[in-house]
Amino acid sequence: MFSYPIPHELPEEKIVLENLSKVYGVRSQEGRDAEDFVALEDFSLAVNAGEFVSIVGPSGCGKSTLLDIIAGLSKADSGTVRVSGLEVTGPGLDRGVVLQGYALFPWRTVRKNIEFGLEMKGASAKERREIGQKYLELVSLTGFEDRYPHELSGGMKQRVAIARALAYDPEVLLMDEPFAAVDAQTREILQDELLSIWEKTRKTIVFVTHSIDEAVLLADRVVVMTANPGKIRAVHAVNLPRPRSNHATRLSREYQDLRQKIYQGLQGDSRLPSSLGLPPERNLSFPQTEPVGAHGAIAL
Ligand code: ADP
Ligand code: MG
């Protein structure tokens, strides 16, 4: 008689996206007639609790549209989003967001921006100060706590947004190209910080990027999208050992093989411009000295 092992624990599906579609009405090339533009078509994906999923794809393939829908900031035309089994009907404190161009509160200082979610959750002043301080330090903004957003650089604003999303400890983090505006060295520091935060907290993360290198470095699974209409093209499991870091992981054979495989898969996509290719060979011994833009970005 055969017996099959019964798993003790089936992975809990934290985020379930079913058949999401989003159509924008846009003006036609010739005239003023509205045409339908399918930004997202029949997009289905389940993200397990504690899983780190990267979504990668060329500019305009619907990544931000997708994340806005999961965040509850935009509505899909059809399909459903469930987080922890509940259908998403709007924004909520269960989902921390770091979205592109997501504005900080201009009337609040850096510290007060970071403490915002904690206030919403009803944390005491002492708790807010302690936790806020921890995240201020984490994103290296000590000394800037009393500044207002207009007194910060783009990269600093982005770091405040990351600290604000992390500080109130949401179960799910939705991040839309959070490191795109920072310089190469800060980007690697923040990637390493995010890796260590994820390893400590095991949050469920959906991380949008147009950098294949960044997607592979961070994620358990890389979802590759294709444009027009925005769909899933491929899903790659990333079985690189953890803990990971820029320094150690980027040097590994497995990392390089996987990024190569994803690039090659994309090159077969006739909908992408032929200019898309592997970035030139880099000196992989010194990943921290890469010039900006050498992160395997799909430069479209
Ligand atoms: P990505 O984040 O992958 O670059 P987006 O989700 O921002 O892509 O956009 C997907 C497509 O939908 C793009 O072609 C974009 O021009 C279009 N789009 C996004 N928002 C709107 C809008 N509000 N109205 C019309 N078209 C839009
Ligand atoms: Mg985008």
| pLDDT tens track, the chain, 300 positions | 445 555 556 679 999 999 999 999 887 766 667 788 999 999 999 999 999 999 999 999 999 999 999 999 999 999 999 999 999 999 999 999 998 765 799 999 999 999 999 999 999 999 999 999 999 998 889 999 999 999 998 778 888 998 999 898 899 999 999 988 788 888 898 899 889 889 888 999 999 998 999 999 999 999 999 988 999 999 999 999 999 999 999 999 999 999 999 998 877 655 554 333 344 333 232 232 233 333 333 332
The residue whose CA is least distant from atom 10 of ligand 1 is 62
**Average per-residue pLDDT for the chain:** 85
60 lines ligand 1 (CB under 6 A): yes
Q: What is the pLDDT of residue 34?
A: 76
Q: What is the pLDDT of residue 269?
A: 59
Is 170 within 8 Å of 93 (Cβ atoms)?
Answer: yes
**Alpha helices in 86-211, H assignment, sequence order:** 110-114, 116-120, 125-138, 154-167, 184-201
The alpha carbons of the chain give a radius of gyration, in whole angstroms, of 20
Ligand 1 atom closest to residue 176's alpha carbon, by position in its atom list: 2
Is 65 within 8 Å of 76 (Cβ atoms)?
Answer: no
Ligand 1 atom closest to residue 66's alpha carbon, by position in its atom list: 6
User: Of 255, 230, 235, 236, which Cα lies nearest the Cα of 245?
Assistant: 255
Query: CB 264: neighbour CB atoms within 10 A?
Result: 11
The residue whose CA is least distant from atom 22 of ligand 1 is 24
Which uninterrupted H or E stretch holds 223? strand 221-226
Q: What is the pLDDT of residue 265?
A: 81
The residue whose CA is least distant from atom 19 of ligand 1 is 65
Q: What is the pLDDT of residue 200?
A: 82
Q: What is the pLDDT of residue 6?
A: 53
Q: Which ligand is nearest to the CA of 177?
A: 2
Residue 278, amino acid: L
109 lines ligand 1 (CB under 6 A): no
The residue behind tokens 């989902």 is 95
Mutate to test the pocket of ligand 1, among 37, 206, 211, 300 (most ligand atoms within 8 A of CB): 37
Q: What is the pLDDT of residue 298?
A: 37
67 lines ligand 1 (CB under 6 A): no
CA–CA separation, 67 and 99 (whole Å): 8
Instruction: Print the SS3 string covering 36-74.
Output: EEEEEEEEEEEEECCCEEEEECCCCCCHHHHHHHHHCCC
How much distance in Å is there from the Cα of 99 to the middle of ligand 1? Answer: 14
Is 14 within 8 Å of 47 (Cβ atoms)?
Answer: yes
39 lines ligand 1 (CB under 6 A): yes
Torsion of CA 198, 261, 272, 249, to 10 degrees: 30
Query: CB 244: neighbour CB atoms within 10 A?
Result: 23
251 lines ligand 1 (CB under 6 A): no
The residue whose CA is least distant from atom 7 of ligand 1 is 64
How much distance in Å is there from the Cα of 63 to the middle of ligand 2? Answer: 5
CA–CA separation, 124 and 129 (whole Å): 9
Q: Which ligand is nearest to the CA of 37?
A: 1
Six-digit token string for 107: 């009337």
Which uninterrupted H or E stretch holds 300? none
26 lines ligand 1 (CB under 6 A): yes
Q: What is the pLDDT of residue 294?
A: 36
How much distance in Å is there from the Cα of 209 to the middle of ligand 2? Answer: 8
**The sheet that has 221-226: what strands, in order across it?**
95-98, 172-176, 204-209, 52-56, 221-226, 231-237
The residue whose CA is least distant from atom 21 of ligand 1 is 24
DSSP 171: S
User: Of 180, 179, 184, 216, which Cα lies nearest the Cα of 290?
Assistant: 184
Ligand 1 atom closest to residue 57's alpha carbon, by position in its atom list: 3
